[in-house]
């Protein structure tokens, strides 16, 4: 009986340690990192304002960003002029981001088109294992 109890305890310990999830490592055994992007914008939305549409996209290269071929993205339609986006579990390295804000017109509104030109800003950032990179963008 004593050997059976020891065997059960041993099996439980093996299962416990083999099933333990490492939240901060990627498949290569490196510490992963995260990015937090805070986008704010200003400007007159004009008389036909309905809402803002903000997209934040992440890419592996500037070409990805230019083609809007994002591996991760966040979209928000809001009446506010702020959007916060974050992405976890990124391997260390250099990544690219693009923030694009457009004004969405009300139906049947023919206002001056200057109010509806997209605002775009992009750049690069580095991920360091175990850390969060913070980016603040104002358009």
Indicate whether 120 belongs to any domain.
yes
Number of structural domains found in the chain: 1
Q: 127: which residues sit within 8 A by CB, 6+ positions away?
A: 32, 33, 34, 35, 90, 91, 92, 93, 94, 95, 133
What's this model's pTM, rounded to 2 decimal places?
A: 0.74
pLDDT digits (tens, 9 = 90+) for 108-139: 776 666 666 789 999 999 999 999 999 999 99
**Choice between 84 and 80, residue whose per-residue pLDDT is larger:** 84
- Report pLDDT for 27: 47
**Per residue in 91-111, pLDDT tens?**
999 999 999 998 887 777 766
Whole-number pLDDT of residue 28: 61
11 in any annotated domain: no
| Cα 84 from Cα 97, distance rounded (Å) | 13
Q: Is 64 helix (H, G, I), strand (E, B) or coil?
A: helix
What band does 3 get if pLDDT is binned at 50, 70 and 90? low
| pLDDT at residue 36 greater than cutoff 80 | yes
Question: If you compute the radius of gyration of the chain from its CA atoms, what whole number of angstroms results?
Answer: 23
* CB neighbours of residue 70 within 10 Å: 18
What is the per-residue pLDDT for 106?
76
Parent domain of 110: 26-138
User: CA–CA distance from 12 to each of 4, 6, 21, 99, 120 (Å)?
Assistant: 12, 10, 16, 49, 54
CA–CA distance, 117 with 115 (Å, rounded to integer): 6
Q: What CATH number has the domain bearing residue 117?
A: 2.60.40.10
User: Does residue 59 form part of some domain?
Assistant: yes
In a domain? residue 134: yes
Could you tell me if residue 35 is inside a domain? yes
The answer on pLDDT for 87 being more than 70 is yes
């Amino acid at each position: 009986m004593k050997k059976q109890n020891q065997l059960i305890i041993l099996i439980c310990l093996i299962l416990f340690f083999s099933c333990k999830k490492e939240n901060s490592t990627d498949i290569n055994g490196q510490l992963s990192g995260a990015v937090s992007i805070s986008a704010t914008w200003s400007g007159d939305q004009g008389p036909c304002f309905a809402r803002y549409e903000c997209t934040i996209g992440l890419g592996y290269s500037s070409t990805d960003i230019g083609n809007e071929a994002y591996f991760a993205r966040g979209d928000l339609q809001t009446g506010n002029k702020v959007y916060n986006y974050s992405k976890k579990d990124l391997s260390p390295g250099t990544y690219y981001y693009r923030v694009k804000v457009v004004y969405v017109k009300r139906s049947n509104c023919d206002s001056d088109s200057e109010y509806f030109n997209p605002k775009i800003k992009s750049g690069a950032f580095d991920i360091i294992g175990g850390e969060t990179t913070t980016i603040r963008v104002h358009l």
